[in-house]
Amino acid sequence: MSITWIIGSIIFHFTIEKKTLSNNLSQFITIIVPCYNEENTIEKTIFELDKLDYENYEIIAINDGSKDNTETILNNLSKTYKRLRVIQLQKNAGKANALYLGLLASVSEIIVCVDADAYLDKNALDYLVPHFEDKMVGAVTGNPRVRNRSNILSKIQLCEFSSIIGQIKRTQSILGRIMTVSGVVVAFRKRALLDCGFWDRDIITEDIGVTWKLQRNLWNVKFEPRAICWMLVPETLKGLWEQRLRWAQGGLEVLIRHWNIIFDFRQKRLILILLEQVSSVIWAFSWAITMIILIGDFIVLGKGINFLQAVYLVIIALIQFFIAMLIDSKYDNKLKNYYIWSLWYPVIYWYMNAIIIIFALPKALFSKKGTFAVWESPDRGLN
């Protein structure tokens, strides 16, 4: 798959990424910011959102039953920023529910959802909004960039978001369907959300779920790498494990819920994404089983481990990182300085991702449908 992603990202870069977008930016926009225990981040986020290089927009912050001082801080911020409206919820009912209530309170057809610990580049809306001139575009996802880079885990994730996540989205865009929008920054057409039934409030990853629902209803979902969003990532193994386990569980829940697209010829492009994700699950189990067998042979039988194939895979991965980071360095001029940290990705993440899939599968299979998928405060790398 790495070679496919490399080729796809290069094609996207030279055929789509360089296109000039319309400068008709008069449409009123609503920015929705769901919050849960955000006392350390929300004030700075609202400050940054209030000074975007765009005239007509409002900000709606939804406090989803926070247990810290988020409620008080938002009330004070609403007195300072004229663009800001605040919705206070007494009970934590999950991010999807908060987004839904924010959408109901909005007055615009285009809404932009931003995480409470993320900053949009000043011109991010200039790149997101023009895509909606195409009446069949239901959502446009932006380009998350890692802003905390203080330890090895955050630096590896910095490389990952360029070479894995960004490259995959570019390739999937060439195919016409993508696995998921980035929940940290994504713009939606309200009519498209209404058409597909809004976010699933019982799936732990609402961004993956709504992406599939939109595409199943034949709405197009776009990736716009020029719409930059600066976010925080976990800096502890515990925080990273919990985040990736949640992502894996949510992805599997979506695959289980939408597996029957294989019987709908209209979904032929989405079927390719389904098969890609299923193959990733099979790869994870195969990788784990292979490692157990090899280690067992080494301990019990004294057989040496053949590292030749592993070296080949690592070389391909490093080439993938290099090309992806070269492309994304246009948006982050210091990015290439972190290439050396990509060496750790195959060592740490291949094993961890395989184990996470194994743990996530039973969670996805036995998750309770029809109940709110509430959220917990994540590790955001804040000291």
Residue 88: what pLDDT? 92
The whole-angstrom distance between residue 47's C-alpha and the CA centroid of its chain comes to 23
Q: What is the pTM of this model?
A: 0.85
How long, in residues, is the chain?
383
Q: What angle do the packed helices 237-258 and 268-296 form, to 10 degrees?
A: 130
Residues 95 and 106: their CA atoms lie apart, in Å, by: 16
Tell the residue number behind the tokens 């924010």, with chain if given: 102
SS3 content of the chain, % helix, strand, coil (to 5): 55, 15, 30
* C-alpha gyration radius of the chain: 21
In the prediction, which pLDDT does 383 show?
47
What pLDDT, on a 0 to 100 scale, did the predictor assign at position 21? 77
pLDDT in the model for residue 370: 57
Instruction: Give the per-residue pLDDT at 329.
Output: 83
**What are the pLDDT tens digits along the chain (383 aa)?**
677 878 888 888 888 887 877 777 778 999 999 999 988 889 999 999 999 999 899 999 999 988 889 999 999 999 999 999 999 998 888 888 899 999 999 999 999 999 999 999 999 999 999 999 989 999 999 999 888 888 888 888 888 887 778 888 888 888 888 888 988 999 999 999 999 999 988 888 889 989 989 999 999 999 999 999 999 888 888 888 888 888 888 888 888 888 888 888 888 888 888 887 888 788 777 767 776 766 665 566 555 555 555 666 677 777 888 888 888 888 888 888 888 887 777 767 777 777 888 888 888 887 766 555 666 656 565 54
What are the helix (H) ranges across the chain? 2-15, 42-49, 70-80, 95-105, 124-128, 152-160, 167-175, 190-196, 206-216, 237-258, 268-296, 308-328, 344-365
Contact between 127 and 212 (Cβ < 8 Å):
no
Instruction: Please report the pLDDT score of residue 52 as a whole number.
Output: 92
Task: Measure Cα distances from 269 to 167, 172, 274 in Å.
Answer: 18, 9, 9
Helices and strands (H, E) in the chain, number of each type: 13, 8
Tokens of 343: 């060496």
pLDDT at 135: 92
Q: Give 55's contacts (C-beta < 8 A, 6+ positions apart).
A: 25, 26
Q: Is-contact 235 153, C-beta < 8 A?
A: yes
Q: Tokens 């696995």, residue?
A: 179
DSSP 8-state assignment for residue 128: H
Q: What local confidence, expressed as pLDDT, does residue 373 receive?
A: 63
The per-residue pLDDT for 306 is 56
Q: What is the pLDDT of residue 187?
A: 96
Question: Which phi and psi (to 5°) does residue 221 adopt?
Answer: -120, 125
